Amino acid sequence: MTSHAPEYFINRELGQLAFNRRVLAQAADRSNPLLERLKFLCIVSSNLDEFFEVRVAGLKEQIALNATATGPDGMSARQVFRQVTEQAHQLVDEQYQLLNEVILPELARHDIRFLRRTHWHEAQAEWIRNFFFDELMPVLSPIGLDPSHPFPRVLNKSLNFAVELEGKDAFGRASGAAIVQAPRSLPRVIRMPSEIAGCEYGFVFLSSIIHAHVGELFSGMHVKGCYQFRVTRNSDLFVDEEEVKNLREALQGELPQRNFGNAVRLEVADNCSPEMTGFLMGQFGLDQKDLYQVNGPVNLVRLMQIPDGVDRPDLKYPPFIPGIPPAVSKQPDMFQAIRNGDILLHHPYQSFNPVVDFIQQAAMDPSVLAIKQTIYRTGTDSALMAALIKAVQSGKEVTVVLELLARFDEEANINWAERLENAGAHVVYGVVGYKTHAKMLLVVRREEDGLRRYVHLGTGNYHPRTAKLYTDFGLFTCDEKIGSDVNDVFLQLTGMGKAGKLTHLLQSPFTLHSKMMAAIQTEAANARAGKKAFIVAKMNALLEPQIISELYEASMAGVKIDLIVRGVCALRPGIAGVSENIRVRSVIGRFLEHSRIFHFCNDGAPTVYLSSADWMQRNFFRRVEVCFPVLDAKLKKRVIREGLAPYLKDNSHAWEMDSEGDFLRKKPRGKATSAQLQLLQELSLPLK
């Protein structure tokens, strides 16, 4: 394998910021419904929160350690941090400009207003005053800063107010400053009664109410200024898996510390005085490059509640009913339906309910002996988990491989682990050092001709809510060899022993990387031999340098390569003599593109794989993943027809990467085509 120069690789962190620019473009796109545009704006903030908590925090740790190692792009942590800081500030400025100059005025034209305190009339001010004394004052605890009251511990991403004071209190103290922390139980946006607001939907920011009445918390003193602020902290959990005896107990002890990791970003109101800004930066050990002064609420994520609380269907995406494949709708008995032939589900265009029905039927079926399932993310309220508990209670052997280290879902998974164990299920936490990210469900059933294995494999999580928002494929099969492969993977995860040879499944960390490399090399060899050769792959991220180098080699051999990468892509397409035959595109639309599909020409005998794994180092080498072939010829064509072809034709929500690594939005020439809209029309059911 040939390695390529650093200039042929794009930096991961900069690629993530570029992805968020594409999301922000959806908020600016007037063809999207207005309240959905507000959601996209909020998603950018949510993404940036995690970006700072994990990626920027990691860069800061490397800089503190004087690490000199570089990635494939050749950039040091200091170089990356410098560029990330510059671009992140630009992105945040653009985000607030869009909010203040476009989104909020357009919402106001539709009678959805955010009432600023400088414009409250007498009745509004009176209502807000009553709200402050009735709902806020009893739960607020101001902390004056003096030798007896040091600067408080500020929770990660919490809303706080820095208050500048003049005068002395009842004890003769004159600290000059105080901190007011807003409890997380308080709503960040409050709806005012329409008859007082003067519009159908009138909202007031919690920060505006506290600003207006903060003086009530400091009787007899003069408030010189009140400024909202928010600090983002390093949220990576440190658990030495080699040392701990009980991973769950170790995590339970570590989770509260996530709120108090090292500070990495400070957000303050743009009217915050230089003195207070400097004081806050000093308290958190940050400097000017870590400071984000914003013209508006410091946490836009909380505006995500607005679309849900506003009954304006005309300002939202039209609703739809997910379709049900005929194989299921005509045969409600899931076991019989699967025996009739493999079943492919394409979410969210098709319903996730058959997966829930399958587990619920298995839980109550007296012929079912055992159920085994992997869980990475499933949510706090899951019908799937409830069905597994019922299965245990009805005498089934239930084994759950539950990944406790699924970032930001650790607490929910710990709670499910306890509930499942209390019910009598076998709960294991996978393999030390390897996150279990595979999406597998195995049901063993006694039938007339003996035991039969029924399997569900997916590209996405067993999470009913996100199955309505993420695009994913799921496959039901009772193929003997696939069932045997899945059983072998479960044996690896729950027991101990050497990894055996699997018939159909490719698995990380053992065979997936080498098999993908071999498949790319085969296409290159076929192209050199004058045979038809192509690769079409869809994933969330493409970062693994060896895979990228092989794709470059294949391109130079003449292989046509189409890559549909939603997020970060470290490969540069269109470089003369290197990647001229590679096209990279990203589709950002109503749904989060999440499916992983790998399609190889294979000398006229095309192979199509679905997988839980992106082409990243962690997925290949530090996780347990499965990649499975679609064996049924009709379903294979369906995956190509639904999962790949529309995305290569999309000219409404697609962005194409140029050789500099910049993404340019496609513009319709003639008829506009949208992959997601096309699939909704083809696969969902008409509203009644």
Structural domain contains residue 474: yes
Q: Which domain-ending residue is among 468, 503, 538?
A: 503
The pLDDT score that the predictor gives to residue 3 is: 63
Q: Which domain holds residue 554?
A: 507-683
The pLDDT score that the predictor gives to residue 248 is: 52
Outline where 303-409 has alpha helix (H): 305-309, 326-329, 334-339, 353-364, 383-393
449 and 571: one domain?
no
570 and 459: one domain?
no
| CA distance linking residue 348 with residue 471, whole number of Å | 6
| CA distance linking residue 216 with residue 220, whole number of Å | 9
Structural domain contains residue 1: no
Whether residue 211 lies in the annotated active site:
no
Backbone angles phi, psi at 435, to 5 degrees: -70, 135
The pLDDT score that the predictor gives to residue 240 is: 46
Structural domain contains residue 555: yes
Structural domain contains residue 688: no
- Kindly name the residue from 211, 213, 346, 437 that is annotated as catalytic: 437
Q: Residue 469 in contact with residue 589, Cβ under 8 Å?
A: no
The pLDDT score that the predictor gives to residue 408 is: 58
Q: Which domain-ending residue is among 438, 473, 503?
A: 503
185 and 40: one domain?
yes
Output the DSSP codes for 584-631. EEEE-SSSEE--EEEEE--TTS-EEEEES--BSHHHHHSEEEEEEE--
549 and 676: one domain?
yes
Number of helices (H), then strands (E), belonging to the chain: the values are: 23, 27
Structural domain contains residue 183: yes
Length of the chain, please? 688
- Averages of pLDDT over runs of 10 residues in the chain (688 residues) are 79 97 97 97 96 94 86 93 98 98 97 94 96 95 77 91 81 74 92 95 96 90 93 72 50 53 94 94 96 95 93 96 96 97 98 96 97 86 88 94 69 78 86 89 96 97 92 98 97 81 96 98 98 98 97 98 98 96 98 98 97 97 97 98 98 96 90 96 86
Which 3 state secondary structure label does DSSP give 409? coil
Output the DSSP codes for 316-335. SPPP-B-B--HHHHT---HH
518 and 664: one domain?
yes
The pLDDT score that the predictor gives to residue 4 is: 77
Q: Which domain-ending residue is among 471, 503, 535?
A: 503
CATH number where 634 lies: 3.30.870.10
466 and 591: one domain?
no
List of residues 6+ apart from 345 with CB closer than 8 A: 325, 351, 352, 354, 355, 473, 474, 475, 476
449 and 551: one domain?
no
End-to-end CA distance of the chain: 57
522 and 481: one domain?
no
Residue 118 DSSP one-character state: G
643 and 518: one domain?
yes
527 and 543: one domain?
yes
Model pLDDT for residues 600-622, shown as the tens digit of each residue: 999 999 999 999 999 999 999 99
Model pLDDT for residues 113-157, shown as the tens digit of each residue: 999 998 999 999 999 999 999 999 999 989 888 756 688 889 999
Structural domain contains residue 320: no
647 and 597: one domain?
yes
338 and 472: one domain?
yes
Count of domains in the chain? 3
Structural domain contains residue 554: yes
CATH number where 23 lies: 3.30.1840.10
Structural domain contains residue 273: yes
Outline where 234-381 has alpha helix (H): 247-254, 274-284, 305-309, 326-329, 334-339, 353-364
pTM for the complete prediction?
0.93
